[in-house]
A and B are shown apart, each in its own frame.
Chain A
């Protein structure tokens, strides 16, 4: 059995000291070990940005693609081999700006992968521009007078797109975050996890202290039922989405793979590539 150490490699992340992403990396490694994975059975697909480098910092199969496209790549990997555990990850710019279309459609498609967003409300790698998660009025290099656009609310969007697993966490809550990632991996369908992961260099507003003061843990809300979509939406709205925990989970809906007619029960990449002549002749006869 692999331990979290087996998911470590010797690459030193190029994140700034104090970056929230370190904890997300640690939580992913712990969760992978806790659910009983071996490194070769995990594929981490990531986007572009500071956080997008994460696939190179975890010892597993890793694919660092192009900006905003971690989800379609990850879905392709899962379709090729349903026996693999596939995690897609990246930043809020990757998932909610350039890749927003894929995020919404991956949610409604419900292929059994886990998507972890490291949400720091800023563009870090390009040195401090506004993100779709930046609050209105937020001053950055690209919004010197303050952002005049509204921030997106990914959790609310996910619920309305038909998500079957929606969760949010805070990078310093390593234990909670690890548990949520485990639950996400174990969920049969698309699991969407947004993690507040502060940028200590460029975001001086949404800091560790700011989150500590503003976040509410769902398990402190009396009677919160994560299978109740209406309550989930209401709670998000009441708290301006600043909640952590599993917001919503629907375990009854089958994943995409379970619904595809004729889809191989074993890994598709192990299927025979040849046809028998009779089968080919039958295909040809249809054109006669």
Chain B
């Protein structure tokens, strides 16, 4: 019996690879297993190798596994590209149709099952993925009945006959594999899971659900990988609350329309990836100087330009902190788990209104698209706080003057009224302005308004809930590992191995990127002999931010990966060890 398994299905894009993984996962998730999936795909609709690697475990897991137990192949390329991940005793289940051949150095055993032929005999070759699921069941020694409900839900609306045919395909796959396996039937039997019902979702689902929970009622967005799922979810759900999504003509319209809606008093969001964020920059500056709340999601992918649109990277960090010309107050948050993505997105709307500034929720492709088992989300933890939004009657101002929307206050935040309110009339402009919003170029006013805006965030690092996720059991650590966004689970797993090697390792994941929680990070850096920052970019952006804020320029080292793929636990483990043993990176 094993307590975890790594399974991968691969083939040509458009062949139903995704749904094969999906059906397999949903069924296992319902049995109480923890799943963590990562899709390898290309920026095209049909054709090109795609695969879905899924880790199944009886305990919580947030990392892609280093190796592979079972590979399901719908084409030769799947074997050629992935066979090296398979260890001794691993299994390849391949469709007979493409006459699979294994390279000489393959450690795993090849089983050839006529997926397509079996499916065609049962009615349609489209069901070959169900045959493959059945074959997998045989290796896992799992009852195929666990798929009954999922198949019924997915195909139910197409009629009973289709449901039955798909179940027949699973059964046929199981039987065919059973014969081939012989004594090895159930060779990789999984320990029983706890049977708890948990959510199975991608980070983008959590971001979108977080937006709904956080009171977001309007979205303006333009489709882009890997952010589109957020708008696709909200277009389905916001009408339940009177709201809607507008798919705009471009990214600039998306940002400015969301600014208009926020100015109008609705909690509005826009979401995109790097190329879209580049286009939104001028609008972000507008929100900054007009002190208009707005929540913007950036799901990072490989850049620059179109870069690697379907690959993992964390290279937008500097752009998100410093992007837009001029200087504005801005908050950049970076959830490191799907659960945090939910809570952080909901909270982003509070911060945007309390501080009347743009809030960027930073994600990355692995976090946004990696489908995984998620711990229960507690709606009770979600608050709605609207800051200095005026919800009372305003007295008529003297001499019919304008409302002081940009009143210079101690905390820098001014009362905010939305159009439609009597006696609240004021002007809003991206030109430097006085307390009523009227353009003003005087040096005195410029300084007053600039200082007022910039001091709004002075205290945020003290009031922000959990600016740094910490797993720091050691008062004096040999090594401190720092990261942000999706690297959390992989770092966790690598640390387990480093600890087994005898090292004392502390781990911190930066969740509030800007303004930077310098004091907290400084004390962590000081209490470790060595410090390494793990990130998916070529220039060590987070490391540089940390150095800029806490110093220790020579102590802080980097482990970087920018080939489009997420870190694997063994890479972090090995490189940290080398660094420790040889003193370099």
Contact = CB atoms under 8 A, between A and B. Distances in A.
Interface of A: 9, 11, 38-41, 43, 45, 55-56, 59-66, 69, 71-81, 83-84, 101-102, 104-105, 109, 260-264, 267-269, 271-275, 277, 279-280, 283-284, 287-288
Interface in B54-109: none
Contacts of A264: 242-243
Interface stretch (B1-9, B254-262, B474-482): B254-262
A63 B260 contact: yes
B143 interface: no
Given A40-B423, A76-B258, A81-B420, A69 B209 contact: no
Given A73-B257, A262-B239, A288-B30, A40 B199 contact: no
Interface string B191-206: 0000001111100010
Given A39-B425, A59-B425, A66-B286, 14 more contacts: A56-B439, A65-B256, A76-B263, A79-B246, A80-B261, A80-B264, A80-B265, A80-B266, A105-B248, A262-B239, A263-B239, A275-B241, A284-B376, A288-B199
Contact of A287 (B201, B240, B257): B201
A79 B249 contact: no
A269 B264 contact: yes
Interface residues of B, number: 72
A159 B388 CA distance: 44
B249 A271 contact: no
Given A41-B420, A45-B260, A66-B256, A271 B217 contact: yes
A81 B268 CA distance: 13
B217 A268 contact: yes
Give me the 5 closest cross-chain CB pairs, A-B, nearest first.
A76-B260, A80-B264, A262-B239, A273-B215, A264-B242
Contacts of B341: none
Given A45-B260, A80-B263, A72 B252 contact: yes
A63 B418 CA distance: 11
B199 A275 contact: no
A69 B256 contact: yes
Nearest to A261: B239
Given A77-B419, A79-B244, A287-B374, A61 B266 contact: no
Nearest to A55: B427
Interface in B193-229: 197-201, 205, 209, 212-215, 217-218, 220
Interface of B: 29-30, 197-201, 205, 209, 212-215, 217-218, 220, 237-244, 246, 248-250, 252-254, 256-268, 282-283, 286, 290, 374, 376-377, 379-380, 384, 402, 418-431, 437-439
A59 B246 CA distance: 30
Contact of B428 (A63, A83, A268, A271): A63
A79 B218 contact: yes
A21 B244 CA distance: 36
A271 B209 contact: no
B268 A101 contact: no
Contact of A277 (B248, B257, B379): B379
Contacts of A38: 422
Nearest to A39: B425
Contact of A271 (B242, B261, B290, B384): B242
A257 B509 CA distance: 44
A284 B215 CA distance: 16
A17 B239 CA distance: 50
Looking at A62, A76, A78, the one whose CB has the most chain B CB atoms below 10 A away is: A76
Contacts, number: 198
B205 A69 contact: no
A81 B430 contact: no
A247 B250 CA distance: 29
B430 A64 contact: yes
A288 B198 contact: yes
A69 B252 contact: yes
A101 B393 CA distance: 40
A288 B197 contact: yes
Contacts of A40: 419-425
Contacts of B422: 38, 40
B248 A11 contact: no
Given A69-B283, A79-B261, A275-B213, A269 B266 contact: yes
A120 B266 CA distance: 36
B244 A76 contact: no
Given A81-B264, A269-B266, A271-B243, A75 B420 contact: no
Given A55-B427, A262-B242, A66 B260 contact: no
A283 B209 contact: yes
B430 A66 contact: yes
A9 B29 CA distance: 64
B200 A73 contact: no
Contact of A269 (B198, B239, B265, B428): B265
